[in-house]
Structure 1
Amino acid sequence: MKAVVLDSQHPDKIRLAAMNLPTLGVNEAKIKIHAAALNHRDQWCREGKYPNLTDAVVLGSDGAGVVIAVGNEVDSSWIGKEVIINPAIHWGNNSRVQDRNFRILGMPDHGTFAEYLHVDADRLHTKPEHLDFERAAALPLAGLTAYRALVYHGKVKKGDKVLITGYGGGVAQMAVQFAVAMGAEVYVNSGEKSKIDKAIAMGVKAGFDYQEASWPKQALDMSGGFDLIVDSAMGDTLSNLLDVVRPGGSIVFYGATLGNPSQLNARKVFWNQIRIQGSTMGSDQDFSDMLLFVNGKKIVPQIDSVRPLENALEAFEKMASGNQMGKLVLKV
């Protein structure tokens, strides 16, 4: 089969390879992948930013396709079904935090950037009927991460004022769609006006250019402060977030692309009783709840572009540039 694998010795650090899957395990299903979607995680693997990377592993965490075979201990009724895959492996039984054995599909396990995939059958979920394969493939990792940040940790409710930072990335876009559908009053920030305009067209009340030093004042003047902020940047932007979150509010962050904050105004945090909460992916229950919500509200993930698996390098390069607006999808 054709697959996109990590190759640290190749000039592009990835390559299209011909490979064979191992024997199907008794608890596994074989999926004919129809579409797969990139996440920043894939690009960071390409850049060598994760520990214990292994060459020749198929990248890709997000995928949708059709089950074509199952192991001896898997219900045969899965055969022929259109499915999406929960990429969170071995979360464990504690809903509050992942198990020490937790990992994400696509490294170190073979992932979705391939014609076929073997995966434990307990990772399978029926594809939402209102989504085609390309949009279904864009949902799992970003949808799960956004849902847990908003619902499990953020406890968002109708009427809450919510700020989603860094609008344009996959998780931020899903968080915006979910929060709007939940009846929250949603705001975003971004470094590009076109992305802010897109967010407003999707139901966001207003957006702020985080390159402008005055954006926190603009946000406070317009909103009066936020009940919940969902962030992926951290770094020294945390001081701005502490300025615009309401007393008693929450900042939930699922990434730290700008690194660690150089300082923390601890007095502001404890005096205003602000909660700063980290979040990663989500539990199996979070994934099931997210799918129920997506089906009920008919949420459709936003797609930047679709290209064949053979042109995966183009998608990686676009992700590296940061110019995408929606998910980058590979059609297999």
Structure 2
Amino acid sequence: MDMIELDGTEGGGQLLRSALTLSLCTGSGFSMGNIRGRRRRPGLMRQHLTAVNAAARIGGAHVHGAQLGATTLRFEPGAVQGGDYHFATGSAGSATLVLQTLLPALWQAATPSTLRLEGGTHNPLAPSADFIADAYLPALARMGVQVGFAIEQHGFHPAGGGVLDVQVTPCATLQPCAFNARGALASVEAKVLMSGLSGSIGQRELQVLADRLGVDPHPRHVHSVRPALGPGNVALVQVRHDAHVEVFSGHGERGVSAEQVGARLADEVQRYLHGDGCVAEHLSDQLLLPMALAGAGSFTTATISEHLASNARLIEKFLPVEFEWVPEGQGWQVQVSR
């Protein structure tokens, strides 16, 4: 098997996850060195290892180097099989990142799949389960991908314990899409999730969002998670335009006031609302790979992040596509073509 040689020094776990996905989708093996090389703790952490082992299982892959802390990995895929799968990070490691690793390969499988994923559902450095449900999966649906998704149990760092149930329908051919105009603003809505903490914290966050964004500050938008497996707090803002939906998250943390959490989140939402791009920064990173699998597509966004650029360079090693960054207004149009 021909092996694609990759260097993970400049990227985080996203480069590894993208390589796993593309390897399963194309049948090309890869070898990656210096995994997460510039991180404070380089190498495979538990959530990365879960993604590797899960990818190996659904794709019948041969893997060398799949152990905690490993900085090199060799992955030789087999044929992807649909079916019923259950994967757990064994920690608060992100279940949503494991899902994004497996999903493109499973929608290319010949038969449907179900996934039960355990771990963190609302992590500071990963897409929240609400983002997956309300922004990422609707964007994929425009390309023809049909996925059932439910949050059975919320899981926050550091306790974890979250559970996601997912059903994947085969999709042999993706429809190229353009996400270039978001349309008129339809609504801005907020909610706050609390686990094992006083609801007054969430109410204070919600009040800041009400003052800054005009959302409804009614206490019914503060939800207490049951059972509370550990302390956790996330404020979520959904911005709905006629042609596009984005979800933004702000996570509570020790030593940071509720007002600061709300203000940071409001700043992020306002930057998006005042900008020209259709797709916000986090979703732009995640649309690259399915657009490349479709062979064409485009979107507008406010900035070309290093995550976006490094992911594009990696995708081009696996697929016969090219990415072009075209200045447009105060931002960029990203174009994908064969």
Is the pair's TM-score, using the shorter chain for normalization, greater than 0.5? no
Q: TM-score range by the shorter chain?
A: under 0.3
Q: TM-score, structure 1 length as denominator? A: 0.27
Structure having greater relative contact order (Cα 8 Å, sep ≥ 6): 1
Q: TM-score, structure 2 length as denominator? A: 0.27
